[in-house]
Each structure stands twice: as structure tokens, then as C-alpha cells.
Structure 1
Amino acid sequence: MPKPKVVLGLSGGVDSAVAARLLKKDYDVTALYLSIGPEAAGERDAARVAGELDIPFRVMDISDALERHVKAPFAADYLSGRTPLPCARCNPLVKFPALAALADELGAEYVATGHYARRGTSPEGRALLLKGAPANDQSYMLSRLPQELLRRVIFPLGDYDKSAVRGLAREFGIPVADKPDSMEICFIPDNDYAAWLERRGGTPPAGDFIGPDGGILGRHGGVHRYTLGQGRGLGVSGPHRYYVSKIDPEANTVTLSDGSDLMAETVFCGEPNWIAIPDLTGPREVTARFRHARTETPCTISPRDGGVLVEAHAPVRAPTPGQLAAFYDCDTVVGSAWIIK
């Protein structure tokens, strides 16, 4: 009996390489390297891994889709005083659709990645997104995946932590077993997003740092260089440590405070993506992550004006426009929505 077919996103890193080796036992695997253009750095390693594992290797240029769905919105967010989350946009709009497109071409039912998450099915037949191992869980960044993509996904590393995956890579003799993890945004390999924005052009000029009372505290290097809650790299001294508490692109000012005004108990979010439920029809108790960190806060979420009103049971520090609020019921991702205010 032929094995079911799966298209795996092979990045050239250790996680996807181990995922390929684990999948090969039970699936007919085709590896796909997603090339993002001149910044791409992993194609040679990905091809090497595919050769060692004797699996077909394909390359797809996703640079146009990445520009349209990720890079341009990334730049627009920073210029508008928001803090974007590019990976969470890329997964449902670029990466997973690219994998699904090749899967459709090859007649493959499944797609797979090396993310640390798990997939399940609800009693009603909905595809569920579940947390991966606590130390490496990546469900937050996957919480925008729609049902039509999620139901096709396999996460081979869902039950492993990073150290176990490194151990498997060495046991399997995978050539990238000791390759360092990449922590940067893929299209900004030096991690200097402000310089990247400035090379694109159209960034705002320097302006004033102001206090809550409107008094001038110093000069900033352009509002695109700051994010809500930031406390480092401000270059302003005073009677206390300063934090960014407001960014106003129209006035070209960045407000600094002692941080006491950064706590919030209500957050409004838009564009919800419901996973475990078809829709939010009334108040629901969840825990929420307001950034990629593992911290979860008990909250009540309610439908409001086409979006989601989040009422935190304890104050949350600097919920930031442009970031995600992901909602959980124990290990299950209920859904997510973009933080607006």
C-alpha cells in the first residue's frame, strides 16, 4: 500500500531536518525550500539534508508574496506607530499556502513543518491547534492558520523539546545537527529592522521625546525606531528610567514615562481567527498571550463591534498594537486577534 504524501517545508535548519527524518518512516515526503530572494540563506543546507535523506527536493520563489503580505505591511506598521509580527502574518498568507500549492500539484493530502506545536480534532470535526512542548511552544505564531490549512497540517515535532530534537539530529546523522538556531526575521538577517526600513525609504525624520505633560525630554531618531514599552536605547536620562508609553506618527513625537501608565486591563482586538470554535457568540473565559512570551493571563473575551473585547483579570503590561492576542483553553488555541488598542 502506498504511503500518504506530504510536502514538508525544509528550511535548512535542524528542526525541519529532523521533521523530515521522522516523517519519512510513514509518509512519502517531498521537501520544499521557500526562497525569499537575495536574503535567502538556507537553500544549500536544505538541499544537502534532502540529499542525505534521499527525498525529492523542490524550491519555490515566494519573494513576491512575501513582499505583498509581509514586508510591505511590516514597514507600514512601524511607520504608523504599531509593532508588527511578521511570522504570524507569513504563516497563513505565504508559507502554508505555498506548501499547500505544491501539495495540490503533487496530489499530496498533507503539509508539514518543523514547528513545535500539535494538531488535534474536536468532537465536532474542527481542526485544533494545540501547544507544543512548554519550553519551545510555537502555537502563538501559528494561531492565524485557518481551518482549511490547519486540517492538512502535520507537526512531527509536537511532542519533542529542542534538546531532544538536537539529540535526534545527531543520532540520525543529520548534517545540520549542530547548526545554530536562527532568531532573526528571515528577511532581516542582521536583525536591524530600523536600518532595513530606512533602506526602503520613506521613514520619518527625527522628532521630540516628550513627557506625559508634553514637556520635551530629548530627541528621537524617528518613530519607526520605537515600540510600546521599550526601555532600552532611548538615550534620555532623568529622575527615573524611561519607557515608551505612546507613539504619535502624526505629531512625530514619542511619549516617555516611568512605565506606570503601561498597564491595561481592557484590550480591544480586531480580525479574530477562531480555531476551536466557529465564532465567539458571548463571553468566554480563556487565558491569553499578548506577545510571544509564554506568560498567560486569565481573561474574559466577548464579541464587540466586529472584534473582541478582552478583559484581563490582572493588569497586562503594554499590550501593543500590531501584536497578537492568542486565546487558550488549557493546551488548546481557541483563536487569536490583532491588538488594536
Structure 2
Amino acid sequence: MAKTVHVGMSGGVDSSVTAILLKELGYHVAGVYMNVWGNDDFYDEHNHYSCYGPQRKKDINEVDRIAKKIGIDLQVFDVSKEYKKHVLDYFSKNYIDGKTPNPCIECNKNIKFGVLIDMILGRSMSFDFFATGHYVNIHNDKMHNRYVLKKAKDKKKDQSYFLYGLSQNQLSKCIFPLGQYCKNEIREIARTHGLGLDEKKESQNFVNGDYSFLIQDKYKEGNFINKDGVILGKHRGIPFYTIGQRKGLGIAFTEPLYVVGIDAFKNQVMLGVESDLFAKELIAKHMNWIAIDDLRGPMQVTAKIRYGGEESEAEIFPEGKTSVRVQFKKPQKAITPGQSVVFYDGDNVVGGGEIQ
């Protein structure tokens, strides 16, 4: 009897081809779509064609068309309330606290591979595996009794950074067919099957344009200061700034200024020159380990401090019971609180945590 796989579908080329590949491998495939946009959500006319926006409800019709074209059933799940709690409220709170959040990581951990799977089971829809269109591989390391995330074949599209927060239980249910393909191969498969998606643009951002509608009036003007505490001017509110930012500061100086620090308690944004952005050490909390069960001593890794950034050689050390200290071999530019640092051993994801 064929094993059942539920595929998280978005209406894009990657998740659609995931369903096709699994069906061709002989699985019984069913599509699931999660609606994250609530009826009472604030509407912003600039917020189109992103992961979160009013067009998501319209996408249901597109996903339904694709499912029928592929020949699979589709179920729609409303996760808007849970999404608000775990993603939107998290996003807003972090910006208000002077951090730069990563909503995609929170969504994967808590919604896509959490709430959605629970809802599927709640409808008595039993399944053997859950699949998504992420470019990543997974390996069952039976010797160490762990499921290990591995980088995708297409290193430019590798999305292991976004999935470091998944638990062993979550990983045990997952299949990621696209991990062995390159993006151009996936577009060609979509073209061959006549899905009409092979040239569709991807949703690159959580929201497009101004995200202030998610924060609304939870901010106020404050002071720009330099490292000596001298006031340089006024800022519009700390949620509009992130470490390393240069544009939109409106401060004249003899050389370019950057955001080098944010103090939410004092409502101050510190500015400095580019050299002030570099550091060789950080502290991370809220750790999740994948290739190991815990960090018990120093370990040599490569580390990535943002998606799209380069991996850098580093050594990690346990710092108390819940934190990790990261020492880089070379200084890193714009280490940003709220973003995630993810550790690698070759192609294997060791684990990661939130930068403090």
C-alpha cells in the first residue's frame, strides 16, 4: 500500500513540483494550504505578492487549480489566529524591543511544521510524511539516532538556515524532494507538466514595502546618538532601524554613518562609521540542536549570521545552561540581535539560535 504524503502548497512552482515528484515516486499525495490572512487583518495596498498579505486568500483558487491539474485532493486550513500569535506578535514585539526578527524561521517552527500538522491530524487525516518545497536534504543518522538537516544540492537556493529550529520529532515526519534538484531543473519540470508557473515570481519577503502597519502606533521619535552619547538628531522610531542600516538616517557627517546600536529602553539609535560594525564575538540564546543533542564543550564550526550571508569559521562554547558564545576567526559585519546564527559542519546543520 502506498504511503501518504501531505504537501504544504503555496501556489508557487516549488511546492507544486514537490507534489508532482512525490506522486511520480508512487506516494499517495494530498495537498494542504494554510491561510494566514485573517478577515480583520489590517489592509495595506502596498502589501502584495509576499508571504503575508491580502492576496493569500486569492491564492487558494490558484492552488486549487494546480491541485486539480496534478490530480490530487486539496484541503485548506485557517491558521490566521495562530499565525498572529506566533509570527505577527513576535515580529512586532521584536522590532519594538530594538531587534530585527526573522518571521520565516518562526513560521516554519511553529506554524508550517507545527500548527498545520496538528490541524491535519485533527481532521483525522492520517499520513506517513509531510513535505514542503524547501531546498534542503534530510538524513536519518541511525548510528546517533538523529535526523540531520543537510544543505541542498543547489547551494544558491539552500534553505537549511530557515529550518534549523525544527525538532527531531518534526524532522522525523519530513520529506524534502527538492534537496536533490537545482532551481532550473524544477522550473523545467513545471514547464513540462504545463502548470503555467515556470516563470512565476517568487515571494521573497515576509511583507513587501513598509511594514509599519504591523506595528502601527507602538513607537515614538527619539534621539540619534554617537558612541559618546552626543545627540546627532531625531529618529522616527526604533522599529524602522536595524544594525548596519545606512539609508534613511538623514544625518549629515564627514563620512557615511550606519546604525551600530539600538537601545529600546532609552529609545536611542546609535550611529557610527563602517568600522564600528565589525565584531568577532556574539552570544546566542534559544538554541536548537540538530546534529548533536547538546553542546557540552568547544566545537569548531562554520557559522552564518543571516540568510544569504557567507559562512565563516568559528568556535562555539557553552555559555551557561541555555546560551552559546560564538568566536569568529575573522570579524563579522553587522551582527544583528534578533537574527539567527546557524552552525554547520560541512553540509550538516549542527544547530542554531537567536543572536542577542
TM bucket by the smaller chain? over 0.9
Q: Distance in 1 between matches of 2:97 and 2:115?
A: 29
1:18 corresponds in structure 2 to: 17
Match of 1:106 among 125, 135, 138: 125
Q: Distance in 2 between matches of 1:262 and 1:88?
A: 25
1:335 aligns with 2:351: yes
Identity %: 38
Q: Distance in 2 between matches of 1:165 and 1:294?
A: 24
**What code does the residue aligned with 2:130 have?**
V
Q: Is the 8 A contact 1:286 1:329 kept in 2?
A: yes
Match of 1:158 among 176, 179, 185: 179
Aligned-pair CA distance for 1:99: 4.1
Q: Comparing 154-163 with 109-118, which one deviates more in the overlay?
A: 154-163
Match of 2:191 among 164, 170, 192: 170
Q: Distance in 2 between matches of 1:98 and 1:246?
A: 35
Q: Distance in 2 between matches of 1:328 and 1:280?
A: 13
Write the deviation string for residues 168-224 of structure 1: whole angstroms up to 9, x where unpaired: 110121132221111121xx3x332124322xx3x2211221122222222211111
Where 2:178 maps in the other structure, the secondary structure is: coil
Q: Comparing 303-312 with 40-49, which one deviates more in the overlay?
A: 40-49
Question: After the TM superposition, which residues 1-341 of structure 1 pair with which residues of structure 2 at under 5 Å, given as runs?
Answer: 2-25=1-24, 26-38=26-38, 39=54, 40=56, 41-102=58-119, 104=121, 105-122=124-141, 123-132=143-152, 133-185=154-206, 188=207, 190-198=208-216, 201=217, 203-306=218-321, 307-340=323-356
Q: Distance in 2 between matches of 1:216 and 1:302?
A: 37
Q: Distance in 1 between matches of 2:215 and 2:177?
A: 36
What TM-score do you get using the length of structure 1 for normalisation? 0.94
**What code does the residue aligned with 1:153 have?**
C
Q: Is the 8 A contact 1:6 1:103 kept in 2?
A: no
Q: Distance in 2 between matches of 1:127 and 1:284?
A: 20
Q: Distance in 2 between matches of 1:163 and 1:191?
A: 28
**What code does the residue aligned with 1:265 have?**
K
Where 1:81 maps in the other structure, the secondary structure is: coil
Q: Is the 8 A contact 1:45 1:176 kept in 2?
A: no
**What code does the residue aligned with 1:196 have?**
L
Q: Distance in 2 between matches of 1:274 and 1:23?
A: 28
Q: Distance in 1 between matches of 2:258 and 2:181?
A: 37
**What code does the residue aligned with 2:263 have?**
D
Q: What is the Cα-based RMSD across aligned positions, in Å? A: 1.3
Aligned-pair CA distance for 1:101: 2.4
Name stretches of at least 5 consecutive residues in structure 2 with no aligned partner: 39-53
Q: Is the 8 A contact 1:99 1:111 kept in 2?
A: no
**What code does the residue aligned with 2:148 have?**
L
Q: Distance in 1 between matches of 2:65 and 2:316?
A: 47
Q: Distance in 2 between matches of 1:85 and 1:43?
A: 25
Where 1:128 maps in the other structure, the secondary structure is: strand
Q: Is the 8 A contact 1:131 1:138 kept in 2?
A: yes
Q: Distance in 2 between matches of 1:175 and 1:35?
A: 22
Q: Distance in 1 between matches of 2:348 and 2:59?
A: 32
Q: Distance in 2 between matches of 1:294 and 1:224?
A: 23
Where 1:106 maps in the other structure, the secondary structure is: coil
Task: Rate the CA distance shift 1:222–1:294 in 2: closer, same or farther, 3 A.
Answer: closer
Q: Distance in 1 between matches of 2:16 and 2:209?
A: 24
**What code does the residue aligned with 1:336 have?**
G
**What code does the residue aligned with 2:17 have?**
V
Aligned-pair CA distance for 1:161: 2.0
Where 1:95 maps in the other structure, the secondary structure is: helix
Q: Distance in 2 between matches of 1:31 and 1:98?
A: 16
Name stretches of at least 5 consecutive residues in structure 1 with no aligned partner: none
Q: Distance in 1 between matches of 2:225 and 2:240?
A: 15
Where 1:42 maps in the other structure, the secondary structure is: helix
Where 2:68 maps in the other structure, the secondary structure is: helix
